[in-house]
Structure 1
């Protein structure tokens, strides 16, 4: 990137059409404050957490490929980069926002662009120069994410080398000092399959034995961890109706001393709640029958 002399708050910026405007601090930007006020009425960190997980699951396509780790060598860098494009639609759905032009959406009738990166900066397109952007950073190795609301003033953007569409990165100083943090670093749930050793993963994801046996092994290895529905689709990749196989596991698991609970079933949710565990619809957990103390919750998903 070329060197950027950052214009401070109070000076004049001009957009790509040559229209001049004042560089305002976030607290003085009425449009930014309006959008921030709307967002503050929503659980922004939770919506983004669910949206990022859904976008990653979509790109991995575990139900067809058997992949469960976005950082795996099996995942092409281009696929990793495409998480941001899918995330945009997941965020719109999470907030129940429309897809509009010229940017991604409108919040309180104000155009807003949504950008995401698995790196350290964002590619701000020309149509978003001097416009409001929600910029999300995902650190996959650290399993966390954070977001800012910022007006991407043209004066605060680097010019990328050889970028034909003139997309630019946002200056770090502007991000850190002249933006509004929407939420701090927030944990990104880990796919439970990542806790398996190589040997265990080979057993659980192998072609043989059948799905029921492999899912039973998964419950044994991941005892006490909440397992989302998507994990069963990954374990049963390429097979027919893996969820029906999962429902057949209860009796088999009981023979192994495991109680299998599923958040889709009211009685399971009640049993889980009695043990201090909150199960959402489609989530599963296997617990030792002799470990059902009310103060015992599931194993940490980030340990």
Structure 2
């Protein structure tokens, strides 16, 4: 794309399709401030973390493919890029926002587009030029994410025809200086299967022995790590009812000196809480009696890939 020379604030935006308008700082943009005020009433970083996790899990489809790492060579670049498209719908669901046109939604009656990238920039469509956009960057290698609210003035978009859909990138300077961060860089939880060695992964995802024995092996390898429901679906890919097999593990694990807790069970929640561990519904953890205190001091891995 052609180089971009940014116009300073207070000058007229080069977009004349909708009439001339000033380039405003975020603090002077009343619509932007209204949207920010609405978002401030929500745990934005937490909701985005869950939405990104669900989007990645959806794209990997571990329950059918046994995949658990979005950066794996088994994942096509096009699939990786599709996380952003899925995230749009997960964000609407997480914030209970309507799907509307011409952009993705309305907040406080104001049109807002929802954009996300696993790369370095966003593709701003023509209908979103000079409109408010929530732009999310997902850094897979660093396991973190951040979102900004920005009015995507045409003056701040790279010149040229853009991609084949005529979408154009947002200038980094505009993102850094003329947008409003909705939250700071936030950790994106790691799928615990990524902590296994190649040999351990091969054992846990093998066709044989059966699901219960392989899940038990997973608990042994991942002792002290919180394991979300999606991981069991990945381990039991293509098999019937992996979660029922998981519920059969408690006695077998106890024979190996492991206490298996599940956040769906109240007694497990209480026992985990007594050890300083928060288990959400659908999350599991295996602990040894002599490892309980050590587990309390470990980062509490949540779900995603």
For the aligned pair, the TM-score class normalised by the smaller chain equals over 0.9
Task: Answer whether contact 1:276 1:294 (CA < 8 A) is retained.
Answer: no
Q: More deviation in 120-129 or 161-170?
A: 161-170
Q: Deviations over 1:203-258 (max 9, x none)?
A: 00011110000000000000000000000000000000000000000000000100
Q: Deviation of residue 15 (structure 1)?
A: 3.0
Give runs of aligned pairs for residues 177-256 of structure 1, distance below 5 A: 177-256=177-256
Q: More deviation in 154-163 or 59-68?
A: 154-163
Structure 2 runs not aligned, ≥5 long: none
For residues 84 and 52 of structure 1, the distance between their equivalents in structure 2, rounded to whole angstroms, comes to 9
Give runs of aligned pairs for residues 79-158 of structure 1, distance below 5 A: 79-158=79-158
Instruction: Check if 1:258 corresponds to 2:258.
Output: yes
For residues 154 and 121 of structure 1, the distance between their equivalents in structure 2, rounded to whole angstroms, comes to 15
Q: Secondary structure at the match of 2:111?
A: strand
Q: Deviations over 1:78-103 (max 9, x none)?
A: 00000000000000000000000000
Q: Counterpart of 2:31? A: 31
Task: Answer whether contact 2:137 2:145 (CA < 8 A) is retained.
Answer: yes
Q: CA RMSD in A?
A: 1.5
Q: Deviation of residue 178 (structure 1)?
A: 0.4
For residues 252 and 162 of structure 2, the distance between their equivalents in structure 1, rounded to whole angstroms, comes to 59
Q: Counterpart of 1:55? A: 55
Q: Secondary structure at the match of 1:21?
A: coil
For residues 297 and 277 of structure 1, the distance between their equivalents in structure 2, rounded to whole angstroms, comes to 9
Q: Deviation of residue 295 (structure 1)?
A: 8.4
Q: Deviation of residue 17 (structure 1)?
A: 1.7
Q: Deviation of residue 166 (structure 1)?
A: 1.5
Q: Secondary structure at the match of 1:13?
A: coil
Instruction: Check if 1:169 corresponds to 2:169.
Output: yes
Task: Answer whether contact 1:2 1:159 (CA < 8 A) is retained.
Answer: yes
Q: Secondary structure at the match of 2:99?
A: coil
Q: Deviation of residue 289 (structure 1)?
A: 2.2
Structure 1 runs not aligned, ≥5 long: none
Q: Deviations over 1:244-280 (max 9, x none)?
A: 0000000000001000000000000000000000000
The aligned length equals 302
Task: Answer whether contact 2:227 2:301 (CA < 8 A) is retained.
Answer: no
With CA pairs under 8 Å and 6+ residues apart, which has the higher RCO, 1 or 2? 2
For residues 160 and 272 of structure 1, the distance between their equivalents in structure 2, rounded to whole angstroms, comes to 56
TM-score w.r.t. length of structure 1: 0.97
